[in-house]
Amino acid sequence: MTVSLLENIASPADLKRLTVDELPVLAQEMREFLIDTLAPIGGHLGASLGVIELAIALHYVFESPKDRIVWDVSHQAYPHKMLTGRLKGIPTIRQHGGLSGFTKRSESVHDVFGAGHASTSISAAYGLALARDLQGQDGHSIAVIGDGALGGGMALEALNHAGARRNRLIVVLNDNEMSIAPNVGAMSAYLSRVISGKPYAAAKDAAKKVLENLPGALEAARRLEEHVKGMLTPGTLFEELGLRYFGPIDGHDFQHLLPVLENCKSLSGPLIIHVLTRKGLGYTPAEKDPETWHGLGPYDRQHGVPITDATHVPSYTEVFADTLCELAEHNQQIVAITAAMPGGTGLSRFARQFPSRCFDVGIAEEHGVTFAAGLAAGGMRPVVAIYSTFMQRAFDQVIHDVCIQRLPVIFCMDRAGIVGADGATHTGMFDIAMMRMIPNMMCMAPSDEQELADMLYTALQQDGPCAVRYPRGKAVGVARHSPCLLPLGKARLCRPGEDALLISVGHVLNVARDAVQRMAEEKEKAVCLLDLRFIKPLDMATILQHAGTDRPVLVLEEGVAQGGVGEHIAAQLLQAGWRGRFAHLAIPDAFPTHGTQTEIRRELGLTSAQLFRRLCALLELSSEAEEETTHG
């Protein structure tokens, strides 16, 4: 039986024992392994397939972890994990208790910096480079950044800073949006090898010394070099920022990659290597549809199709998209904004139906929010669709550019609450605390798809900023009708009761219903259930009415406990003279791990069985230990 090259790679040191001619064989083995292994579990397939040769080349030339490689966004780091001792863990990636889908410092010494959000690598790698130099250490600092992430403001700020100093820094631009033409690829690879080589550098230095004695000659030569390089390569911008530019080169050809990386090791100062790759390379479905295959669930490897749920309950994302398109047909002022996530946020449909009114700003959430503020100031009704976790990146813009000016911008925050396999970096746990604290902001959370439609319609009728949060995954499956205006700031009574008050925030209402029903059946206790709907303004009149003077109260929300709506309700109750027992079921003061949504909710105590036990404790009743699978 032939032993594969891949199974003998337990560390980058093992990789260096291979010949250059064996590297393409290893790349193919890694490609097949990833395609087969991710089929039953899903993951970031397309991005990882596109950087296999680049990951091999970086670890072949450099010495990790002495040389520090920072991946951005690190969903493209699966090959890096495979080469750094975690091959056997790949079948557990993004699974509960398994490997993280991103780089994670606690997972390996080779993961020098964690990243689940884009555009952070250059800042981090430059910080690592400066720390190295300040401490008199050796080694390289390398940022691997995608072309989409490079457009983020933070990446450009980092380039501007690093280029102004002369610390040794290597930025590898993984450009997977450009096709690789053989003639251009070969020529650019040749130019990059020449420009990065020692003979060229030595000749350039010698010429500089000669020209320094000739008035005006040095400046003329510099301009001529930049002019020629500007015609032959797209590196003029980087050169102007102070980074030496090499490329573009074929990111799938070791004969191109290795010499340039080797030559750049000996160069000083900040530099950028422009590498052209193809997302999903080696798996035809991923090459043809890179957006779908960027990150997905289980798929049929043989037929190249995602495995989908046969049920026809729409997701909250689909309900949002359908409702927005319906409303935009009758309101020409509605425009939609996304930050590089048209598919994930559901705006792809809006873009097809209203192409002139849909704007993808790229990985630039800060710009997206202020851009929306400008649209609102100009008379439009912008709807900003951003994942809850990415909304954190534009917190200042929400405050300064939208809320202080009371501009009618609507923030639709998808993936609010527990997200699942992507773990802590993508969990939408802070949006309730973040948004409800800002003056002039109205905040809503739907418990089903009809409420989501109603809240979007209601937000469009307001003259100030509004935020709507909704979860990842399928909606409840209720019958829908045309969206209507909700009574502002009013909670909905779902079930009356005299023994306790349970306040549910958003999509966790079904969990609350189950627990309340069980309390009635097993404990003969009538728990009043409120669907809060409006996080801000709070319907304290209704809450106080059902809390009475001392009735036990429990608040259930899928957001952080500290700063959450539960804390605010407790404070308002106490100020009103209420003297009962209070409980708050929310995400504790810790970052959740990764796993399925069900697994993480069980781990955090957010299932109906755990809620039932909390209600029993609140009412000082015994609760028999039962299996989570029965009621959770």
pLDDT value at position 239? 85
Condensed to tens digits (0 to 9), the pLDDT of residues 71-103 reads 998 889 999 999 999 999 999 999 999 999 999
SS3 at position 384: strand
What are the tens digits of pLDDT across the range 352-409? 999 999 999 988 999 999 999 999 999 999 999 999 999 999 999 999 999 999 999 9
Residue that wins the pLDDT comparison between 320 and 46: 320
Whole-number pLDDT of residue 215:
63
> Is pLDDT above 70 for 220?
no
Residue 298 pLDDT > 50, yes or no? yes
Task: Report pLDDT for 206.
Answer: 60
For residue 493, count other CB atoms closer than 10 A to its CB.
14
Q: Which residues of 418-451 are buried (b: 16+ CB within 10 A; e: fewer)?
A: bbbbbbbbbbbbbbbbbbbebeebbbbbbbbbbb
Mark whether 626 is an active-site residue.
no
Cβ burial of 122 (10 Å; 0-12, 13-18, 19+) is: buried
Report percent pLDDT > 90 for the chain. 79
Per DSSP, 291 falls in state: T
pLDDT at 25 over 50: yes
Q: Which of 499, 493, 440 is nearest to 466 (CA)?
A: 440
pLDDT over threshold 50, residue 44: yes
More confident residue, 475 or 192: 475
Q: Is the pLDDT of residue 627 over 70?
A: no
Cα torsion 49, 52, 53, 54 to 10°: value is 110
- Beta pairing, strands 534-536 & 442-444: antiparallel
* First and final C-alpha spacing in the chain: 48
From 21-30, 308-317, 472-481, 560-569, the region with the lowest mean pLDDT? 308-317
631 pLDDT more than 50: no
Residue 232 has pLDDT above 60, yes or no: no
Backbone angles phi, psi at 470, to 5 degrees: -150, 155
Q: What is the pLDDT of residues 109-162, one digit of tens each?
A: 999 999 888 899 999 999 999 999 999 999 999 999 988 888 888 999 999 999
For the question of residue 279 being annotated catalytic, the response is yes
Kindly state the average pLDDT of the residues 295-306: 90
pLDDT attached to residue 132 = 96
Express each pLDDT in 608-623 by its tens digit.
999 999 999 999 988 7
Confidence grade of residue 1 (pLDDT, cut at 50, 70, 90): very low
Query: Of residues 86, 104, 365, 613, which has the active-site annotation?
Result: 365
Which of 68, 393, 436, 601 is flagged as catalytic? Answer: 393
> Which residues are registered as beta bridge partners of 338?
360, 385
Q: Any idea which residue has 């028999």 for tokens?
A: 624
- pLDDT per position as a tens digit, 541-557: 999 999 999 999 999 99
- Domain 492-631 adopts which CATH fold? Rossmann fold (3.40.50)
The verdict on domain 316-469 having CATH code 3.40.50.970 is yes
Which of left, alpha, beta for 626 (phi over 0: left; psi -120 to 50: alpha)? beta
- Kindly report each contact of residues 297-304 with a partner whose C-beta sits within 8 Å and lies 24 or more positions away, as own/partner: 297/42, 298/39, 298/40, 298/41, 298/42, 299/38, 299/39, 299/42, 299/45, 300/39, 301/35, 301/36, 301/39
Do 6-192+246-286 and 316-469 fold alike per CATH?
Answer: yes
pTM of the model: 0.87
Tell which wins on pLDDT, 546 or 213.
546
Told to judge if 451 belongs to the known catalytic residues of this protein, a careful annotator would answer no
Name the pairing type of β-strands 492-495 and 527-531: antiparallel
Angle at 170 between CA 11 and CA 30, to 5 degrees: 35
What are the pLDDT digits (tens) for 327-353? 999 999 999 999 999 999 999 999 999
Beta strands in 452-591 (DSSP E): 466-469, 492-495, 500-504, 527-531, 534-536, 553-560, 582-587
For the chain, what are the domain ranges?
6-192+246-286, 316-469, 492-631
Residue 82 CA, chain-centre distance (Å), reads 22
% residues pLDDT > 70 (the chain):
89
369, 442, 452, 480 from 484: Cα distances, Å: 26, 17, 10, 11
DSSP 182-245: HHHHHHHHHHHHHHHSHHHHHHHHHHHHHHTTSTTHHHHHHHHHHHHHHHHSS-HHHHHTT-EE
Is residue 51 pLDDT above 60, yes or no?
yes
Question: Is residue 443 over pLDDT 50?
Answer: yes
pLDDT digit string, tens, across residues 575-594: 999 999 999 999 999 999 99
Q: In b/e form, how buried is each residue of 47-83, taking b as 16+ CB within 10 angstroms?
A: bbbbbbbbbbbbbbbbebeebbbbbbbbbbbbbbbbb
Alpha carbon distance 196, 266 (integer Å): 9
So what's the pLDDT on residue 494? 98
Q: Is the pLDDT of residue 466 over 80?
A: yes
Q: Which CATH class is domain 6-192+246-286?
A: alpha beta
Which pLDDT score is estimated for 184?
45
Q: Where does the pLDDT of residue 221 fall: very low under 50, low under 70, confident under 90, or very high at 90 and above?
A: low
Residues near 575 by beta carbon (within 8 Å), at least 6 away in sequence? none
pLDDT digits (tens, 9 = 90+) for 187-212: 455 445 655 666 656 655 665 665 56
Q: How far is CA 209 from CA 204, 347, 386, in A?
A: 9, 58, 54
Which entry of 31, 279, 381, 518 is annotated as an active-site residue? 279
Separation CA 522–CA 615 (nearest Å):
12
CA angle 280, 284, 289 (to 5 degrees): 65
Nearest-5° Cα angle at 507, 421 to 453? 110
Asked if residue 421 has pLDDT above 80, the reply is yes
pLDDT value of position 236: 78
More confident residue, 425 or 294: 425
